[in-house]
Amino acid sequence: MKRRTFLLGTASGLSVLALAACVAPAPVPPPSTSPSTLTPSLVPQPITVDRTNWSTDPFSRGSFSYAAVGATPEHRTALGQAVDARVFFAGEATAVDEPGTVQGARASGVLVASQVQGVAAPGERITIVGAGIAGITAARRLVAAGFSVVVIEARDRIGGRIDTVSSDWPFPIERGPSFVHHSSDSFLDNELTALGVTLLPFERTPEVRSRAGAVVEPSPLGAQAVAGALSWAADQQQDVSVERALIDSGEASLSKTPNAEGLSDADWLEYEIATRLKVETGATPSQQSAWYTTDIASADNDQIVVGGYSTLLTSEAAGLELLLSSVVNRVAHDDRGVSLRLGTGESLSADRVIVTVPLGVLKNATIEFSPALPFAHRGAIAALGMGVVDKVWLRFDVPFWDTAARLWTIVGEDSDFAVWINMMPLTGEPVLLGLIAAENATRLSALDDDAFLAAALAALEPFLAVPGD
């Protein structure tokens, strides 16, 4: 069992925070190859495995943006401002409503297209960097408005973080987004359904198990503590981290005395952090803003896409001029237009450019801007956080579990694999999807495939069917 990273209890928590403020951030611990993770698991070997690594992906550098301590929605607005009416920005991180989602990215593409139309003369040449949902949405609208548009994409495919894999799987699996959030009032579910893509309602009621495999009645204590801490933080003079809000509000002072099931009140706060806060944001409570970490209990009307999210992109991109496998590494502009330099050394010029690369790429400064981006943009890039959530898809010959629950979680341990989604009741196929979030994702990203799979299978042991049951 891995040592817990979030220290509960007012006294210990405060002293750790005080210490943390004085020293450099701790280095990411080396990948665990301890005997426990490499010991053959009782869980059978899967027949197909797919594992993501979004934090090391050079064209993403993380999974989606989150509100870091001190970041505000105004930072997103600032990031979305055009520079000299030549260099425009879009992408999920610029979305004030629903950042970090497909809807947010899509809306940013719609907005930037209207910004460009507001200043560009008919027939101008517009270059778009990035063929994710934001870039393709903007391109489609600008082409319809009569502009000459070329989309430049670093990868050899379109879609960006929307990444569906169909071969080797009984149904298309999603390496990026799987859910349409709050779909009751979203256009996306109708649009995907119209394209023939299967979406299924996904109720987020988890089955909770102890490490020993016992099914446990979920407790609301953790969610209540987080809600109490966020409400306390809303009344403070300045933003603090969710971790500090939990500690300073007293909400983290939960009993550590185990009950008959071996679980304490504090275990339920750990559980809430691992299975909700970290998974929804890709960040630890010490990184998240208590002011702008929204009430995630609202993730109710979700639908899960099991028929290929990428269909949305292929349909939208039909007929667009696309330059794939082309990395942009410099964006320069003056009052006459823009000039882009590619990794190949080639240059392209246009009247205006829309940059839709992920926040993680902007943070990494792999694209040089000339002149340098204004202070407000640089401030926003530094202030907003890029979270990490990775996925592992496992396909088995036959199910080793006997539960029909769709969402599996473990309480009483900060498992690296916080949440498992059982695709069997949804698709009839013995396929599991594991989610790894925040510092666990960063640490596991360094494991080789064998060690990673061993860790995943060990994490699944509580869900092994008990013979004779």
Shortest gap between Cβ of 218 and ligand FAD (angstroms)? 22
Smaller CB separation from ligand FAD, 342 or 451: 342
Which stretch, 59-67, 190-198, 241-249, 379-387, contacts ligand FAD (CB under 6 A)? 59-67
101 lines the binding site for ligand FAD (CB under 6 A) = yes
179 lines the binding site for ligand FAD (CB under 6 A) = yes
In angstroms, the CA 9 to CA 19 distance is 16
Q: Please state, as a whole number, how many other Cβ atoms lie within 10 Å of the Cβ of residue 201.
A: 11
By CB under 6 A, the residues from 298 to 337 that bind ligand FAD are 327-328
**Binding test (CB under 6 A) with ligand FAD, winner from 80, 91, 222, 385:** 91
Smaller CB separation from ligand FAD, 64 or 268: 64
Spatial neighbors of 240 by CB under 8 A, at least 6 apart, are 69, 233, 248, 290
Considering CB under 6 A, how many residues would be counted as binding ligand FAD? 41
395 lines the binding site for ligand FAD (CB under 6 A) = no
Q: Please state, as a whole number, how many other Cβ atoms lie within 10 Å of the Cβ of residue 39.
A: 11
Q: Are 97 and 108 in contact (CB under 8 A)?
A: no
CB-count exposure of residue 234 (10 Å: 0-12, 13-18, 19+): exposed
User: Binding mask 364-383 vs ligand FAD (x if CB under 6 A, - otherwise)?
Assistant: --xx----------------
In angstroms, the CA 70 to CA 184 distance is 32
Which stretch, 123-131, 284-292, 368-376, 379-387, contacts ligand FAD (CB under 6 A)? 123-131
54 lines the binding site for ligand FAD (CB under 6 A) = yes
**Binding test (CB under 6 A) with ligand FAD, winner from 8, 361, 380, 432:** 361
Smaller CB separation from ligand FAD, 246 or 362: 362
Smaller CB separation from ligand FAD, 131 or 317: 131
Return the exposure string of 311-350: e unless at least 16 CB atoms fall within 10 Å of the residue's CB, then b: bbbebbbeebebbeebbbeebbbeeebbbbbbeeeeebeb
Please tell me the number of Cα atoms within 13 Å of 392 on its side-chain side.
25
Binding site for ligand FAD (CB under 6 A): 54, 59-60, 63-64, 91-92, 100-103, 105, 129-135, 152-155, 160-162, 176-179, 181, 327-328, 356-358, 361, 366-367, 389, 391
